[in-house]
Chain A
Amino acid sequence: MNYLASVGSYAIMIREVFKKPTKWRIMKSLIYKEIDELIFSSLGIIIFISFFIGAVVAIQTALNLTNPLIPRNLIGFATRQSVILEFAPTFVSIIMAGKVGSYITSSIGTMRVTEQIDALEVMGVNSLNYLVFPKIIAMLFYPFAIAISMYVGIFGGWMAGVFGGFLTSEDFVTGLQSDFVPFHITYAFVKTLIFAFVIATIPSFHGFYMKGGALEVGKASTTSFVWTSVVIIILNYILTQLLLG
């Protein structure tokens, strides 16, 4: 019953976010700030993780190719498919749910605890629009981060495969280009956009409606990470079934 009430509150929150907009002059600067906080400041960790996961995928594939009849260029193919279809859009989104999500929950939760949200409301500001809308818009740039993740992940696979002596550069590129389905890119970016919305809004919901003090801010961050991850995993299944099934 509580879960159902939370879903209802979340839906009401989303409606409120798009009502009574803040002045564009102010909103513009808030959006720039959020792009910096949510996207640019996450690029380092995205690039780092993508590189090594791509490398590990290539090594794992190479080590499992024991049959001499299977061409080595499969390593390039497997790296591309894993990175584009799942690793970059889904795995990175789970990481972002932790990094960006906990930042969103704790920053909004702290504003709640210190009555800054009440101060906005008293002034007549639509606090949900002021706080959450810029985050949603900033997360529209998330697909660019995922595009970088895809590129770096595949590059990591190439580095590990070629310099680890598992295959030649030509084999890797041949595998990379074989059986390429352009719709897989569309599928990956549709998922990314939906996950971006989830990463911006579920942590905001947990921060905005939290009750209590500093300890509860920490608890709300943990809860928001768990729920954002759960929703991403479920949506990943549903979207895969709908778009590729």
Chain B
Amino acid sequence: MIDVQDIHKSFGEAHILKGISTTFEKGKTNLIIGQSGSGKTVFLKCLLGLFEPEEGSIAYDGKLYSEHTDDEKRDLRQEMGMVFQGSALFDSMTVEGNVMFPLEMFTKQSKSEMKERVDAVLKRVNLIDAHHKFPSEISGGMQKRVAIARAIVMNPKYLFCDEPNSGLDPKTAILIDDLIKEITEEYDITTVINTHDMNSVMQIGEKIIFLKDGLLEWEGTKNEIFKTDNEAVTNFVYSSDLFKKVRQMYIQEQN
């Protein structure tokens, strides 16, 4: 579980996060949505420990990040997995090398143990024959799956995903969403996803928070998002005709 209390983050004059408080529960897919410039990425980077907030606190399973020693912070980082928007795979390494990298860096496992673990996670993300290919030789969807495999290879407690569907076709995007949800439940991890994709919101959003101008404007579940009368949320989520119709159908069904 990640508990965020009143965090503020500025860059020079720009006050990006203006006091966000929320909780991300274990075993659930938590989604952060909001328009570009609303502070989603900065918020995610604060959760990852890449940015340190000027005010407020973030607690991981009850322990404040600020109370961690440097060694504990390093250990905590190893309990986090991250799937970047552009996958961020290491160009110079094969698929196998990318997934094995965290094991080589932080464990004392033998080569055969590492290989066994890599085979298992690559199988889990449905990538069986790509071990010796380089990132440039595989598709965007496969790169995302490799990124997910690399993120879960160390059995993380927390999984963060920044726009995991960006640049993917709708079918592959659904596969990636389903995979993230399955992994979250299977490994019982706290998953936080930063997304613009409303399909993801409807598909896997167990908890959704909506950021606007650096503030938490709304939070709820995917069912609650259909019923909300928060104008900022409805303008953002139902900006397309398709989603407007889906909402109308949902409300009619409920009535």
Contacts and interface: CB of A to CB of B under 8 A. Distances in A.
A122 B105 contact: no
A20 B85 CA distance: 28
Nearest to A33: B92
Contact of A115 (B75, B84, B102, B106): B84
Contacts of A124: 73-75, 77-78, 106
Interface of B: 48, 50, 73-75, 77-78, 80, 82, 84-86, 88-91, 101-102, 104-106, 160
A119 interface: yes
B74 A119 contact: no
A121 B80 CA distance: 11
A170 interface: no
B78 A116 contact: no
A114 B86 contact: yes
Contacts of B84: 115, 118-119
From DSSP, what is the main secondary structure of chain A's interface residues?
helix
Nearest to B104: A26
Interface of A: 20, 22-23, 25-26, 110, 114-116, 118-119, 121-125
A23 B105 contact: yes
Given A116-B88, A116-B91, A122 B82 contact: yes
Contacts of A22: 105
B85 A115 contact: yes
24 contacts: A22-B105, A23-B104, A25-B104, A26-B104, A110-B91, A114-B88, A114-B91, A115-B84, A115-B86, A115-B88, A116-B89, A116-B90, A118-B50, A119-B84, A119-B90, A122-B48, A122-B50, A122-B80, A122-B82, A123-B102, A123-B105, A123-B106, A124-B75, A125-B105
What 10 pairs between A and B have smallest CB-CB spacing? A124-B77, A115-B88, A119-B88, A122-B82, A115-B84, A124-B74, A116-B88, A124-B78, A123-B102, A122-B48
A20 B88 CA distance: 23
